[in-house]
Amino acid sequence: MLGHIHSFETFGTKDGPGIRFVLFTQGCPLRCLYCHNPDTWDKKDAKYILTPQEVFNEIDKVKNFVRGGVTVSGGEPMLQPDFVLELFKICKQHNIHTAIDTSGIYLNDKIKEVLQYTDLVLLDIKHINADKYRSLTSAPLEPTLRFMEYLSSIDKPVWLRYVLVPHYTDNENDLREWAEYASRFKNVERVDILPFHQMAVHKWEQINAEYKLKDIAPPTNAEKEKAEHIFKSYGLPV
């Protein structure tokens, strides 16, 4: 059982509660226009190929500092469900909190088994309009909504994430529709509005990919506050 790994972060503070060990897996089927890790897209470009136990050995080295738990991000971690399952089984043997950061594009019996060992899901619902979602990600929206419905059915704690990109994800009607949808679920513990930024430009250049958002400015404070106000007006815990 081997995992294709892009990198580790041993002092993560944005990917779940507390200070966390964050594992970035290699490989992703989405091609988000604003992706800040395009170097994780191709699974064969993995920097490390490790067993779950070898990854846990790295976690164990910093266990005195990482009190929050372990988050598996990506890329798309659900591309490697067998690896994540075995890693999380080891984590639970040591009473370590587990989280997955996912697009929700995959759902099958193996992933449902992974979710049994997952304490928290960080779910990116990147747009609520199916056509705009496909333009933004090159993938269909329906699998992500189906994933969210399943998480609700098993009452799995969820933090929803929404990247605010001017001209792409900031339309007021879209924001209201997204918020109305998210407000239906009682298992949503938190909503994070993530402002678009340009810090990944060099990564796109390194992989020789066209970066279509190079002329898009980050959202202003007023734009961020407007989105936050809309989400809160639907009772979401922003």
Question: Are 47 and 6 spatial neighbours (Cβ–Cβ below 8 Å)?
Answer: yes
Burial class (CB in 10 A: 0-12, 13-18, 19+), 102: buried
Angle, helices 52-61 vs 81-93, to 10°: value is 40
CA 47 to chain centre: 20
Q: Which residues pair with 70 in a beta bridge?
A: 21, 98
pTM, entire model: 0.96
Task: Write out the chain's pLDDT in tens, 238 residues.
Answer: 899 999 999 989 999 999 999 999 999 999 999 998 999 999 999 999 999 999 999 999 998 888 899 999 999 999 999 999 999 999 999 999 999 999 999 999 999 999 999 999 999 999 999 999 999 999 999 999 999 999 999 999 999 999 999 999 999 999 999 999 999 999 999 999 999 999 888 899 888 989 999 999 999 999 999 999 999 999 999 9
Phi, psi angles (nearest 5°) of residue 54: -65, -40
The reported pLDDT for the residue numbered 1 is 86
Which structural domains are found in the chain, ordered by start? 3-233 (3.20.20.70)
